[in-house]
């Protein structure tokens, strides 16, 4: 079985105005390279910071990420308990992902994490888990929608494979705080739920109070192997 400690909730930024972000002091934060205006404050006042390469946001905007600039940006922040996502390619191949891992291989391995996109092979997931103590699940391709039926079948398959291999890896779920309280024993997850929704008209709420409610919800600490349905529409990218 795969076992993890209590789920760490990384809250996405930016959160504005700054007076509202200040209320979040002591939380765990996810700061994206795509908009890193809050990075310095989060590093000074957060419990820990996850540094995201911004590939997902850039992809949705039809943009590309300058990963040379990204590496320069993360360097001053890359010390425990902070950590960074290795650049990844949304919809890319295993070789695409391996190329970026090689480019970032000179950085401390315990402070960087590669991304396994769920449309890529289980063999690649296991290879990644063998090489890194922390890695991430990324939802792309047929598994774009986190928590959908097809996503859950694929996640079951992945957790079964990790458990059979005997891994006790730190697994982070990208865009995954909606899964708090679900069956998957992710060690951490992130989302921009608070940043995007605390100012909704007619439902305004203190962001810290909203984050506190999310933080209170935990996932199981372990996974036990379960039967999975064959997904006849599954498409793996080589």
pLDDT tens by residue, 65-96: 899 999 999 999 999 999 999 999 888 899 99
Structurally, how many domains does the chain consist of?
A: 1
Query: Rounded distance, CA 90 to CA 216, Å?
Result: 31
> Is residue 230 in some structural domain?
no
User: Could you tell me the residue range of the domain that residue 95 belongs to?
Assistant: 2-223
Strand runs labelled E in the chain: 2-3, 8-12, 28-32, 48-52, 83-85, 112-113, 115-117, 134-138, 170-173, 188-191, 222-223
Tokens at 6, concatenated: 């209590």
Q: pTM (2 decimals)?
A: 0.90
> Is residue 80 in some structural domain?
yes
Task: Note the pLDDT of residue 229.
Answer: 62
Q: What are phi and psi of 225, to 5 degrees?
A: -60, 135
Query: Rounded distance, CA 89 to CA 87, Å?
Result: 7
Task: Note the pLDDT of residue 230.
Answer: 54
> Is residue 233 in some structural domain?
no
Q: Give percent of the chain with pLDDT exceeding 90.
A: 71
CA distance readout (Å), 204 to 38, 177, 194, 208, 211: 21, 20, 11, 12, 13
> Is residue 237 in some structural domain?
no
> Is residue 110 in some structural domain?
yes
- Under the banding of pLDDT at 50, 70 and 90, the label for residue 3 is very low
CA distance readout (Å), 145 to 141, 150, 169, 185: 9, 9, 24, 19
Query: Rounded distance, CA 18 to CA 136, Å?
Result: 29
Query: Rounded distance, CA 198 to CA 40, Å?
Result: 22
> Is residue 236 in some structural domain?
no
> Is residue 238 in some structural domain?
no
Q: What is the CATH number of the domain that holds 179?
A: 3.20.20.60
SS3 191: strand
- Under the banding of pLDDT at 50, 70 and 90, the label for residue 228 is confident
């Amino acid at each position: 079985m795969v076992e993890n400690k209590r789920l760490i909730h990384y809250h996405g930024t930016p959160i504005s105005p700054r007076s509202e972000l200040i209320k979040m002091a002591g939380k765990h934060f996810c700061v994206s390279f795509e908009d890193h205006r809050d990075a310095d404050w989060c590093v000074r006042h957060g419990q820990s910071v996850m540094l995201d390469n911004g590939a997902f946001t850039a992809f949705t905007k039809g943009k590309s990420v300058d990963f040379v600039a990204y590496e320069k940006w993360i360097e001053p922040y890359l010390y425990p308990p902070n950590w960074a996502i290795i650049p990844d390619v949304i919809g890319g191949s295993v070789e695409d992902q391996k190329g970026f891992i090689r480019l970032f291989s000179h950085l401390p391995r315990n402070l960087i994490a590669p991304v396994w996109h769920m449309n890529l092979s289980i063999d690649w997931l296991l290879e990644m888990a063998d090489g890194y103590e922390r890695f991430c699940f990324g939802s792309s391709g047929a598994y774009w929608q986190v928590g959908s039926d097809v996503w859950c079948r694929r996640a079951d398959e992945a957790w079964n494979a990790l458990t059979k291999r005997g891994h006790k890896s730190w697994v982070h779920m990208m865009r995954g705080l909606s899964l708090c309280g679900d069956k998957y024993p992710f060690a951490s997850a992130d989302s921009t739920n608070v940043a995007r929704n605390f100012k909704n008209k007619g439902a305004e709420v203190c962001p810290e109070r909203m984050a506190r409610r999310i933080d209170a919800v935990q996932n199981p600490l372990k996974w036990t192997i379960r039967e999975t349905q064959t997904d006849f529409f599954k498409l793996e990218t080589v």
